[in-house]
């Protein structure tokens, strides 16, 4: 009797569960928005202007910078943003 052929999967073999984005507020008036600078050159100039424009629209803007664009932000920084902000913009990957 021949052995059954077993095919092994070289991939992770898992698919992430699909989640949906969080609820969005109707406007940014009175909303605290974090601007997370990924620490790539020129991104700060971009975010300076975004901060200005969001301020004009009534948002409160807080600024953050992660240590390097090549890695995810450290958990302490993510925690800080999450406790201080309701929304976040991360820029600028190129």
Task: Report which of 60, 70, 1 is spatially closest to residue 34, judged by C-alpha positions.
Answer: 60
Q: Which of 1/6 has CB closer to another protein?
A: 6
Closest CB to another protein among residues 1, 71: 71
Cis omega before residue 92 (within 30°)? yes
Tokens of 33: 């928005």
Of the two residues 3 and 93, which places its CB atom closer to another protein in the complex? 93
Q: Is 12 exposed, middle or buried (0-12, 13-18, 19+ CB in 10 A)?
A: exposed
Give the nearest distance from C-beta 78 to another protein in angstroms: 5
Binding residues for another protein, per CB under 8 A?
A: 8-12, 14-28, 31, 33-34, 36, 39-43, 45-50, 53-54, 57, 66-73, 78-79, 81-82, 85-94
């Amino acid at each position: 009797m021949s052995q059954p052929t077993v095919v092994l999967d070289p991939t992770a073999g898992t698919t992430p569960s699909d989640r949906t984005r969080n609820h969005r507020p109707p406007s940014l008036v009175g909303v605290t928005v974090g601007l997370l600078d990924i620490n790539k050159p020129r991104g700060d100039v971009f975010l300076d202007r975004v901060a200005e424009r969001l301020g004009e629209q009534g948002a409160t803007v807080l600024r953050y910078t992660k240590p390097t664009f090549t890695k995810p932000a450290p958990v302490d920084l993510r925690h800080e943003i999450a406790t201080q902000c309701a929304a976040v913009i991360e820029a600028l990957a190129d």
